[in-house]
Structure 1
Amino acid sequence: MTAASSPGYSESGPIRDTHTAPRISSETKPSFRTSEFFAYVASVVAVLIASWAVGNGANGVDRFPADRAWLYVTLLTIGYVISRGLAKSGSREDTDTMRR
């Protein structure tokens, strides 16, 4: 004896869609389209301009030397890389769809 099937169900269970469309959008934006990128670039430019503009004081001592400016740029870069890593860590996008 066979049981009658309900609409939407085959005799072996619910009908399953085996084809799923690939996800086109990602959870995070490309880095150059984020506000943190523009803040990073503005900060780097500001540090370098400040180091150049301050220059030597009246007594000939450089109050903001280039080595300190580049240290600040390095620290800004580390912060930016960490923030992008945190933003991307929650992304579940497949690497195959990122190549498209």
Structure 2
Amino acid sequence: MTASTRTHNENATVKGVRVRGEETKPSFKTTELVVYVLAVIGVLVASYTVGDGDANNGSDYFAADKAWWYITLLTIGYMISRGLAKAGSRSSDVDPRTH
């Protein structure tokens, strides 16, 4: 294939065959990551501010173990959402061991 038959468009047509680019963005460019990071920060801030009570009297309503449990759940949710986003995408990896 020569350079003259190829266009620079992501969904270019090369000799009648439609070439598809990657369907999803890298994770650092998505709003999913921004929402995830903000949610984790929110859980940590809420745990810090609500957990000002005396832990010996049982008045610590949002203890660190609960905060980390919620962060774990957020992480699992984020990983599932990225997995679903990548499920139908094509890889641009040229390593023959991964095919």
TM-score bracket relative to the smaller structure: 0.5 to 0.7
Please report the TM-score for the alignment, with normalisation by the length of structure 2.
0.68
Do structure 1's residue 85 and structure 2's residue 75 form an aligned pair?
Answer: no
Structure 2, gaps ≥5 residues long: 1-14
Residue 48 of structure 1 is matched in structure 2 by 44
Residue 72 of structure 2 is matched in structure 1 by 74
Q: 1:17-36 to 2 correspondence within 5 Å?
A: 25-36=21-32
Identity of aligned residues (%): 58
Give the superposed CA RMSD: 2.5
CA contact (8 A) 1:55 1:65 kept: yes
CA contact (8 A) 1:27 1:93 kept: no
Distance 2:49 2:74 in 1: 20
Which protein has the larger Cα radius of gyration, Structure 1 or Structure 2?
A: 1
Do structure 1's residue 38 and structure 2's residue 73 form an aligned pair?
Answer: no
Structure 1, gaps ≥5 residues long: 1-16
Residue 8 of structure 1 is matched in structure 2 by none
Please report the TM-score for the alignment, with normalisation by the length of structure 1.
0.67
Q: Relative contact order: is structure 1 or structure 2 higher (C-alpha 8 Å, sep ≥ 6)?
A: 1
